Amino acid sequence: MSESRAAIRYAKAILDLAVDKKATDAVEKDMRSVLATISDSVELRQLVDSPVISGPMKKDILLKIFKGSHAISEGLIGMLVDNKRVSILNEVALKFIILNEQQKGKDVAYVTTAIPMDAAMEKKILKQVTTITGNKVTVENTVDESIIGGFVLRVGDLQYDASISNKLNNLKREFTNSL
């Protein structure tokens, strides 16, 4: 099973549990914290991905880092560690946020650009994505200089990659295949 499919399944299960317990806001806050913390820390990503560090140690460290989280969030961390799937924690958090926003009738458009977007560009993207999805949309911009230029737009399961690095990779692949 691909990691993405597994992450979606875990996220859906946690969302269903959070809805039943009327704790979606608290769990979403925790998932945003997990996403930000893991994204910002190289050491934490290495810890989560490390096959050398034991599961109980990973669980202990993660529960200490995310102390004060809702019981559902702590349960998710424990379950991922126990099932040896803790490496997808970041992806589960992201999928949970997306699913929860969609349930509220909102979508989040994740736009990755080489430089920060200005207000005019954000407004254009917001208008296009609102037209496509029919939902209220918010835009979250991430800067990644490795895409060289252009942008990568992700809304839910849809992704549009108009980055220069993607186009260069496509050209490289075509060139290699034609030899």
Mean pLDDT of 20-35: 93
Q: In this structure, are 87 and 121 located in the same domain? A: no
Question: Is 82 in the same domain as 120?
Answer: no
Predicted confidence band of residue 138 (pLDDT cuts 50, 70, 90): confident
Same structural domain, 92 and 127: no
pTM above 0.75, yes or no: no
Q: What is the CATH number of the domain that holds 38?
A: 1.10.520.20
Cα 124 to Cα 120: distance, rounded to the nearest angstrom: 6
The per-residue pLDDT for 1 is: 44
Place of tokens 């060139």: 175
User: How many domains does the chain divide into?
Assistant: 2
Asked whether the predicted pLDDT for residue 169 surpasses 50, the reply is yes
Asked if pLDDT for residue 125 goes beyond 60, the answer is yes
Answer yes or no: do 83 and 18 share one domain.
yes
Q: Which of 44, 72, 101 is the last residue of a domain?
A: 101
157 secondary structure, DSSP code: T
**Residue 102 vs residue 12, higher pLDDT:** 12
| Reported confidence tier of residue 4, pLDDT bands at 50, 70, 90 | confident
pLDDT beyond 80 at 156: no
pLDDT value of position 110: 86
Question: Is residue 9 domain-shared with residue 40, that is, in the same domain?
Answer: yes
Using CA atoms, how far apart are residues 149 and 173, in angstroms rounded to an integer? Answer: 19
Domain match, 53 and 93 both: yes
CA 45, CA 89: separation in Å to the nearest integer? 10
Say if residue 2's pLDDT is above 80: no
If you average pLDDT over every residue of the chain, what do you get?
A: 89
Q: Specify the DSSP element, H or E, that contains 38.
A: helix 24-40
User: What domain range is 53 assigned to?
Assistant: 3-101
